[in-house]
Amino acid sequence: MQKLKYIFLPVTLVSLLTMTSVAFALHSPEHYSFFGESSYVSPGNASNRAVHLVSDSSPGYGGVTYEVESGMTFADLTALGTDYRFESDDSCAGGSPRFQVGVASPDNTDTGNIFVYIGPTPSYSGCVPLVWSSTGDLLEGANPIDTSQLNAGIFYDPYATALTKYGSYTVTGIKLVADAGWAFSDGEQALDADNTLINTTLFTYEVPVPAAKNECKNGGWMTMGRPDSTPFKNQGDCVSFVVNGK
């Protein structure tokens, strides 16, 4: 089995849309943030935009941090997944990419990360490049999760068992991480991610389109763009779009 290697970060689909039991909300950039070597890329998976994650020599990782609802427990986290596409010479390897769910026990004496890996089990390697794929809901089915950072945790922990042990733990952060550049001959692992699902929230990474002039003010134009995700040059450009549709 391939050795997994982690950079422990601070705890702080189109195809997924077939899960018709889930109600989706399209979250805008104020509900997530980038860290390390991560950026927007165009196009996405049948969309205007996705997120590009890179792990190479410096800083060695890239990822996205998602907003977590106050008071959420691990038992409240019922769906987790994303669409992903690797570059031509890259794949999943070394425990990357993965979701990293920071948790803390009710008395705060047991803290750490629960790792939810992306890729075929048991090695989580061999992902096909240049093709958009979907993880589906990683908290369902046969894939185990890694709870080894926690008391009584193990590497291959069935989700149902992990839920029994850690369901009452508070979720302190959720990240999507790529950090296995070390596993490739060129020292780089790169992939795109789109349509990331956390519970009933779908992160599409599209640019919010302003509907009123006041949304362009106070720096609002810098976080918005046209329907094709083209950013505005300045506040006046944003206002002109709202007024004239150009």
Whether residue 217 sits in one domain with residue 198: no
Identity of the residue numbered 224: M
Among 204, 198, 202, which Cα is nearest to 77's? 198
Whether residue 179 sits in one domain with residue 130: yes
Q: Which residues pair with 176 in a beta bridge?
A: 64, 99
Whether residue 185 sits in one domain with residue 241: no
Residue 230, domain member (yes or no): yes
Whether residue 152 sits in one domain with residue 49: yes
pLDDT at 225: 87
SS3 for 116? strand
Whether residue 116 sits in one domain with residue 234: no
pLDDT at 246: 67
**Residue 168: count of CB within 10 angstroms of its CB:** 13
Whether residue 166 sits in one domain with residue 54: yes
CATH of the domain at 148: 2.60.120
Residue 8, domain member (yes or no): no
* Domain count across the chain: 2
Whether residue 95 sits in one domain with residue 147: yes
- Tell me which residues of the chain have a pLDDT lower than 70: 1-30, 246
Tokens of 91: 């794949």
Name the percent of the chain lying above pLDDT 70.
Answer: 87
pLDDT at 27: 67
Whether residue 194 sits in one domain with residue 97: yes
Whether residue 239 sits in one domain with residue 178: no
Identity of the residue numbered 208: P
CA atoms lying within 13 Å on the CB side of residue 193 = 27
Residues 6+ apart with CB under 8 A from 2: 93, 94, 123, 124, 125, 183
Residue 218, domain member (yes or no): yes
Whether residue 160 sits in one domain with residue 49: yes
- Domain limits for position 75: 15-206
Among 233, 174, 176, 172, which Cα is nearest to 50's? 176
